[in-house]
Chains A and B, each alone.
Chain A
Amino acid sequence: MEKWPADRFDKHFIDYLSRPEIDGWEVRKALSELHDFDVIPAPKVVEAALRACRRVNDYSLTLRFLEAIKIKCGTGKNRELVYGYIIDQVKPVLDELGISTPEDLGLHKPELFIPQAEYWWERKWYKEYGYDKKPGYEF
């Protein structure tokens, strides 16, 4: 499927995501398959995906999908260029559906720090996560 021409590839995903009876599971299936390929989704596909998320009433999935486009863009400069371009192309749909991008919400910078469970923890984290009263953790 990676050897298909671009419009056939796009049409495949747009047709699948434009079905009116789509399910939450199927939206995630389509987005995962799109994520499998080494391709940044075209603006038409992005629009179809956002409308599909609207149909299943899942707002967090739209944010997750926009972050997935960022992952596909790679790093640094390519992210600013290509991700910015896609957001510009898709801006009418974002305004129509009322979707704010992760940048608008402030989620493009790290907000919370979650310590890794198997690594070293500082002392105050035990208290913050409520572990210092549990048996075996008192110190």
Chain B
Amino acid sequence: MSLSKSVLLPRLAVNAVISRAIQTTAKAQSGHHIEYYWGHERAAGREIVGHGVSGEPTYQDRLDYWYPALRFRVDDATISPLRQKEKSDWKNLTPEEKKLLYRYSFKQTLAEFEAPNGYWKLIASICFSVLSLATFYAVLLNHFVYPAIPPTFDNDYKEAAVERMLVLEKGQFLGPAKYYDYENNRWKK
């Protein structure tokens, strides 16, 4: 509830004019409005059975929080009689009914959750094809585009340069002369 102008800036208040000295509406002036929370719509009428990961009504299979907050499917006509039957002795349930109860509460079994799904083949094929295209392009460039390199890159030239340095820089303490044994004409061990 903000103050009226005459209280905030008393010098500017004109006593002859009676401005509205009492604020009748208490409106908080902020730019933040809470967004609509979609959690209950996404839950779609499924029964909330626990805390789950964060307390939100979402379903998620994950290995560290293995018991989700919701059942996976909405209670409908096939499962309601089974839920009644579940309250009595479990020896009366057939294996198909037990599987149905599981499928209504959970999306995937542990085996399905951990099973390999084969998407690595797609990803690896894309990676390899991109790498091969790049390699092909580089080979084309090297073959057709780039000019010849100077002769100083040949191995013979480089060896001849080292021999020249041995002759000219004999006695220096840096360079190839440091590692060459001049008495025996070979490299130092």
Within 8 A of A (CB), among B105-134: 105-112, 115, 117, 119, 122
Against A, the Cβ 8 Å flags (1 = close, 0 = not) of B77-119 are 0000000001101111101001101101111111110010101
Say which one of A14-22, A39-47, A62-70, A125-133 lies at the interface with B.
A62-70
| Measured CA separation A35–B110 after assembly (Å) | 15
Is there contact, CB below 8 Å, between A35 and B111? Answer: no
Q: Are B49 and A98 in contact (CB under 8 A)?
A: no
B67: chain A residues at CB < 8 Å are 28, 31-32, 35, 61, 64, 68
Contact of B86 among A24, A57, A71, A110 (CB under 8 A): A57
Is residue A80 within 8 Å, beta carbon to beta carbon, of the partner chain? Answer: no
Are B111 and A108 in contact, CB atoms less than 8 angstroms apart?
Answer: yes
Q: CB distance A100 to B50 under 8 Å?
A: no
A128 → chain B, closest Cβ, in Å? 16
Nearest CB of B to A70, in Å? 6
Q: Which of B65, B87, B102, B106 has the most CB of A within 10 A?
A: B102
**What's the nearest-Cβ distance from chain A to residue B121, in Å?**
11
In terms of DSSP, what is the predominant structure of the interface of chain A? Answer: helix
How many Å lie between the Cα of A70 and that of B111 in the bound state? 10
Measured CA separation A58–B63 after assembly (Å): 21
Interface size on A (CB < 8 Å)? Answer: 39
- The answer to whether A137 has its CB under 8 Å from any CB of chain B is no
A1 at the interface (CB under 8 A from B): no
Taking a contact as CB atoms under 8 Å apart, the answer to whether B86 and A35 are in contact is: no
Report Cα–Cα, A25/B67, bound state, in Å. Answer: 10
Cβ-Cβ contact count across A and B, 8 Å cutoff? 104
**Which of B51, B63, B65, B112 is within 8 Å of A114, CB to CB?**
B112
B81 to chain A, nearest CB (A): 14
| Bound-complex Cα distance A94 to B109 (A) | 20
Q: Is there an interface contact between B102 and A114, defined as CB atoms closer than 8 Å?
A: no
Given A32-B65, A59-B86, A110-B111, do A105 and B50 touch, yes or no (CB 8 Å)? Answer: no
Indicate if the CB atoms of B115 and A100 lie closer than 8 Å.
no
Judge whether A110 and B112 touch: CB under 8 Å.
yes
Task: State whether A59 and B90 are in contact (beta carbons under 8 Å apart), knowing that A32-B65, A32-B66, A32-B67 are contacts in the complex.
Answer: yes
- Is A98 a contact partner of B90 (Cβ separation < 8 A)? yes
Residues of B within 8 A of A (CB): 49-51, 63-67, 86-87, 89-93, 95, 98-99, 101-102, 104-112, 115, 117, 119, 122
Q: Which residues of A are in contact with B by a Cβ distance under 8 Å?
A: 24-25, 28-29, 31-32, 35-36, 54, 57-61, 63-64, 67-68, 70-71, 97-100, 102, 104-114, 116, 119-120
